[in-house]
Amino acid sequence: MARESFEKTTLPADSPRLCTTCGTPIDTTEWYPVTTVPEEGHRIYAFCGEVCRERWRRETDS
């Protein structure tokens, strides 16, 4: 499993706009959870909430 870093932030306009896990649109003017995986060139994975981020984490750990 790649090492992950977790951030709580709002991101620039060119950031992901859909939840990585469920595809729900994300309101980027509000806080939302993100994850980066350094081994993937610090690609940003954005999530609509903590539940989707944890689901993604469990699925990528498998």
**pLDDT tens digits for 45-61?**
999 999 999 999 999 88
Q: Is this model's pTM higher than 0.85 or not? A: no
Place of tokens 């090492």: 3
Domain ranges, ordered by start, for the chain:
20-61
Q: Give which of 38, 42, 44 is closest to 13, Cα–Cα.
A: 44
Residues 61, 18, 7, 50: is their CA dihedral positive or negative?
A: negative
pLDDT per position as a tens digit, 4-24: 555 555 455 556 689 999 999
Of residues 16 and 2, which shows the higher confidence score?
16
Model confidence at 43, in pLDDT bands (50, 70, 90)?
Answer: confident
The per-residue pLDDT for 28 is 83
